[in-house]
Amino acid sequence: MGAVTYPNEKVADFVTSRLVPLQVPSDSSLAADFKVKWTPTIIVLDYYGREHQRTVGFFPPEEFIPSLLLGMGKVDFDTDQFNDGILHFDALLKEYPRSAAAPEAIYLRGVSRYKSSHNAAPLKEAYEKLKADYPASEWTKRAEPYGLL
């Protein structure tokens, strides 16, 4: 990641303007505290240091930003900041609609819209979008019950 992804100008701008990045050596006590077993391990934490997303392995530049946006949306989702989560998921889906993170973002966007409105229509919309665009995705399978709404 240090040779390909981190030096990418778009990645560097995104990370430095929107996150507090911390690179930890794999043999440090902090790596042990976070149970890092392989590198690269990317962990998205909230303000209080609670983990909301963990990924292990290389990301090319075009997949790294969508993964970070997904993690940021998950922080919002997990802390009941559903409208902020929707904004992160929308940004991911607008800028990176074919990324590997897109199906999960569609799913969580639908759930966030439901949680913020108590209207079930966004759940069904999420399922229909997943079924149309990502029929083999695990997120489509998870959303299948919403098709009955």
Per-residue confidence (pLDDT) for residue 35, from 0 to 100 = 94
Q: pLDDT-based confidence at 128, cuts 50/70/90?
A: very high
Contact residues for 111 (Cβ-Cβ < 8 A; gap 6+): 77, 122, 123, 126
Q: How far is CA 29 from CA 32, 82, 107, 116, 142, in A?
A: 5, 34, 36, 40, 37
The rounded radius of gyration (Å) of the Cα atoms in the chain is: 16
Which tens digits make up the pLDDT trace of 1-53? 899 999 999 999 999 999 999 999 888 999 999 999 999 999 999 999 999 99
Taking the mean position of all CA atoms in its chain, how far away is CA 22?
A: 18
pLDDT, residue 26, reads: 87
In the chain, what are the domain boundaries? 9-148
The whole-number pLDDT of residue 33 equals 93
Non-local (6+) Cβ contacts of 107 within 8 A are 126, 130, 139, 142, 143
Work out the angle at residue 88's Cα, subtended by the Cα atoms of residues 86 and 89, and round it to the nearest 5 degrees.
65
Give the span between the Cα atoms of 72 and 19, in whole angstroms: 9
Dump pLDDT digits (tens) for 50-88.
999 999 999 999 999 999 999 999 999 999 999 999 999
CATH 1.25.40.10 for the 9-148 domain, yes or no: yes
Query: What is the pLDDT at residue 37?
Result: 92
| Range 92-118 average pLDDT | 98
One-letter amino acid for residue 111 of the chain? V
Residues 85, 71 contacting (CB under 8 angstroms): no
Cβ burial of 147 (10 Å; 0-12, 13-18, 19+) is middle
Instruction: For residue 43, give Cα distances in angstroms to 1, 12, 67, 111.
Output: 14, 17, 11, 23
pLDDT at 69: 98
Express as a percent the part of the chain with pLDDT over 90: 95
What is the predicted pLDDT for the residue at 68? 98
